[in-house]
Each structure stands twice: as structure tokens, then as C-alpha cells.
Chains A and B, each alone.
Chain A
Amino acid sequence: MKQLTYPFSPEAVRELKVGDMVLITGKLFTGRDAVHKYLHDGNKSPVNLKNQIIYHCGPVTMKDKKTGKWTVTAAGPTTSIREEPYQWEVIRDHGIVGVIGKGGMGQKTLDACKEYGCVYLHAIGGAAQVLAEKIKSVDGLYLEEFGLPEAIWELTVEDFPVVVTMDAHGNSLHKEVENSSKEILKTVL
């Protein structure tokens, strides 16, 4: 088990390798389809994402009627491949050093990870409660007009569990597993 602690940097994430089980402590920004398209279209991010980690997640959130404070009641990852057309540019233009999601991403993102120093961190899909428990505070809400699951939520997390499945050295666990399962597939079809 390894730890990745805020502030993040391209150097720190370059130390991570495919297969590493990592606990993240620090800041995360959620962003999914609407946010990625928005940033990709050249719009300015409402918050500086340099050296930050973006989390493909549409959380379930509740607002306390009295205090107006938000809490996240469920926060698992969403399928990342939908952001494949946008992700590489968002990494390049916004200086993101980590992408958390599920299901892995494609070659464009893998290349961007290598070139700019970024990793893809696979959270456990569906583990909404375990992951929500690791969220210690909700520090900001941006682009609320996209709807709450699609907005950018600024979160502080502690020991947030992920697995490195695409590293900054061009390795992808998704590719490896796909290739090995393809070989086996040939023998069983």
C-alpha cells in the first residue's frame, strides 16, 4: 500500500506504477461529462486545476436545510472512457496530475499521462459508501448549472483507496488484461 499526499505534483505521480494500491489524502475535484466537454470547448475553469486530481464522479449530495452545508452521501466513480475524447486536452491545458475513475481510458489519455506527468487511478466502481466515508469535507461547488451530479465539487479526502491502472510511463493494466484475456478467449471460442 502506498500513499499519495497533497500537494500533488507530476514528480510524485511519476513514482507510481501500474498495480500500485494507493491511498490518497488531500484535495479532489469531481468532473464528468458536462465539465469535460466544457473545458475541452476552451472555457475557463472556474477553479485552478494545476497539479490537482480530477475525479470522474457524480456524487449524491444533500444540503442541510438549516446550515446550508453540503454533505456527500454516495461518491463512487463513473465510467471514464466517456471522457476519452476530452481528457488528454484537459490534462495538457489544465495541468492535472491525476485522474480517478473506473474502467480505464484509451491511448490518447495514456500518451498524455506520459507526456505531462499524470496517472489514472482506478477507484472501486460502486463502492459509493466506502468512498464517501473518505470525504472529510466539501469545500466548494462550481458549475452548479450543470446539475448537481455534473457539477465540480471540491472535496477533501483522507485515505481514499485507488489502484494505479495507467501510469506515467506508458503502462496500462487495462491493456495488459485485455490482451491476456484475448489470448484465452481464442482458446475457448
Chain B
Amino acid sequence: MTKKVPAKRPASKILSKKTIKKPVPKKLDPKAQTIESLLELIRVTSTEIPDDVAKTLMKARSQEEQNTTASYAMNIIKDNIDLAKFKSQPLCQDTGTVIFFVYHPPGFFQNAFKELIKKAVVKATQKGYLRQNSVNSLTGENAGTNLGEGHPSIHFYEHNKKEVEIKLVLKGGGCENVSTQYSLPDTTLGAGRDLEGVRKVVIDAVYKAQGKGCGPGALGVCIGGDRADSAYNAKKQLLRKLDDKNTLPDLAKLEKEIVETCNKLGIGPMGFGGKTTLISCKMTHANRVPASFFVSISYMCWAFRRQGVVLDKKNTIKTWLY
């Protein structure tokens, strides 16, 4: 049974500031306050697209031709961004690998902070900001808490500021599955051990991903490093704002070139065909040993969930980083 119906979409705007943040009602002890702040960080990360990403996505939306499957996809993406924020519900049901980056002053108690993060994660899961998404790789068991071996993923960095800064990325599984690592030289692609070779493998990765990573996608890339560091540093590039500029001119140029070239491939939103395949590419590098040359590519879906906060002395949220 098929019949024609007109397409209709509600009008809305999405670039407004985070408006529905709940005020913290009562005075809490420092630990409880930290958990509360972390919970709010998780809520906002899971339910709201950062402004820089939203801006880029909306620009991409306006560039797709009307009445195509590509614009259909981008319109639904926009509605979804609006609705998730309005309802304070996860943008995507795959709330991903929960990855914390904690920047702290010297003399900070990392283990104690880890426990608070875990408590906040459990709470966020109970509240539905995170899906029960953590599975034991040996037994297949899902404890339903998002805690387990390696989960959540927490990385600490000491910095020279007095305050604690916490960044959070929720990295979905679909786009993680199309993330990849190349070893140069790659003879099938004719990619050598230079920036031209890097360019080739990154574009190849985007081609291979097609629509499977819920594009339009955003890339984090690391040139060099051992296999593990390379992959990790690629992922860390996702912390960069989309509108920043690489301080290394060669990489700044390459980032731009890769985005432009990938958008010529015509893969488009969701792989339906269309103009926007990639919304950004952020690159870094790490030293390697002479024998190896890895290029790691972390693919992030359009549901680019990253946020960050600075905590004040009372552990309440002082500023939002994105």
C-alpha cells in the first residue's frame, strides 16, 4: 500500500545556548557536588550537539539540494538535534564508549576522582542519559551500569592551572567500526611514507566507510606513533573545535584539502549520495620508529558528542568548554 503524502517538518532553531540546564537545588558535600557536576556534563554531552558542530552541520544541510534523500537525511538530523535537546534525551541511542579526559593541577587524587566518575556514570545510566552499553568481552554479560574492565575510559593529564577541567566524548560504535589504521607504504593505494601518502590513505578510509559511520563524518587523524598511541592521538583530535586552525601549516593545508576532496566523492549524508561526506578533518603527528609508519583515523559520526567543563572550588560547573 503506497500513497503520496506531503512532507512536513516542524520549524525550530538549534543554535540557542544550553537553556534547560537544571539548577542544583540544595547544598551538597564536595563529593556529591562533583558527582552532580559530572552527571550534568554527561547529560549535556549525550543530549546536545556542541555549537561548533551544530553550525557546521547546518551549513552542510543548507548546501544539499532540496527534495533529495540527502536533504531528507539532513532535515531529520536537524529535527533530531532540536528534539534531543528539548527533551533532554540522548541524541543517539548508541551512547557509545564513555571517554573522559581529566586535566588537573598537581597533587590531585586521581583514584578518588575515578570513583566519582564511576558513580556519575551509573547515575547517568539510571537516568537514561546513557544506554546500558558496556559488555564483558569474555562472557557477553551486560552489567547494566556502564562499568566494567576499561569502562568508562578515563585519561588524566596534569596541567598548570588551578582548576580541574573535564572533557567527555561519547564515541559511537558504528563510526568506531569504520575507524581504521594504515601502515605506510601501502602498495595497493600507491601511498608512500610522506604527506601525499597520508592524504591517500585518509581519503581511502572515507571511501571505505561509505555511509556506515553515520556521515557526514568528522575525522581525527594521527600520523605516526606506535599502533596504540597513534589510535589514541587520532581520537584526541576530536577534542579540537571544528573551526580552529592547525598551528602546523602543512597539516592545516592537508586538513582542508582532505575535506574538500572527500566531499567530491559524492557519498553524502548516510551514504545516500550528496554533497557533504565530511564536515571536518583534524590532524596531529607523533614520532615513530624508523621501521613503522602508521596513520590512524578516528571517524566520528554526525552525532558528534563532546563537551567539557571547568569546575570551580566548590566543584560546581564554572564554564562550558564547547
Q: A: which residues have CB within 8 A of B?
A: 1-5, 12, 15-16, 19, 21-23, 57-60, 62, 73-76, 78-79, 81, 102-104, 122, 124-130, 132-133, 147-149, 161, 163, 165, 173-174, 176-178, 180-182, 184-185, 188-189
Query: Which segment of B71-79, B106-114, B226-234, B235-243 sits at the interface?
Result: B71-79
Main secondary structure of the interface of A (DSSP, over half): mixed
- Within 8 Å CB of B173, what residues of A? 78-79
Pairwise interchain contact B83-A133, C-beta atoms closer than 8 A:
yes
- The CA-CA distance from A79 to B213 in the complex, in Å, is 9
Pairwise interchain contact A149-B204, C-beta atoms closer than 8 A:
no
Pairwise interchain contact B76-A129, C-beta atoms closer than 8 A:
no
Contacts A3-B1, A177-B266, A177-B267 known; list 7 others, CB within 8 Å: A4-B1, A4-B2, A74-B90, A74-B92, A129-B83, A148-B132, A181-B207
A18 to chain B, nearest CB (A): 10
Pairwise interchain contact A5-B1, C-beta atoms closer than 8 A:
yes
Main secondary structure of the interface of B (DSSP, over half): loop
Pairwise interchain contact A15-B69, C-beta atoms closer than 8 A:
no
Say yes or no: is B298 at the interface (Cβ < 8 Å to chain A): no
Say yes or no: is B264 at the interface (Cβ < 8 Å to chain A): yes
Pairwise interchain contact B128-A58, C-beta atoms closer than 8 A:
no
Q: B: which residues have CB within 8 A of A?
A: 1-7, 69, 72-73, 76-77, 79-80, 83-84, 87, 89-95, 128, 131-133, 142, 144, 172-174, 177, 189-190, 200, 203-204, 207, 210-212, 214, 261, 264-268, 270-273, 301-303
- The CA-CA distance from A177 to B172 in the complex, in Å, is 24
Pairwise interchain contact B261-A188, C-beta atoms closer than 8 A:
yes
Q: Please give me the 7 A-B residue pairs with the lowest Cβ-Cβ distance, nearest first.
A: A125-B214, A74-B93, A126-B303, A103-B212, A126-B92, A129-B83, A127-B80
- The CA-CA distance from A60 to B77 in the complex, in Å, is 18
Pairwise interchain contact A189-B303, C-beta atoms closer than 8 A:
no
- The CA-CA distance from A125 to B211 in the complex, in Å, is 9
Pairwise interchain contact A163-B272, C-beta atoms closer than 8 A:
yes
B171 to chain A, nearest CB (A): 13
- The CA-CA distance from A151 to B142 in the complex, in Å, is 13
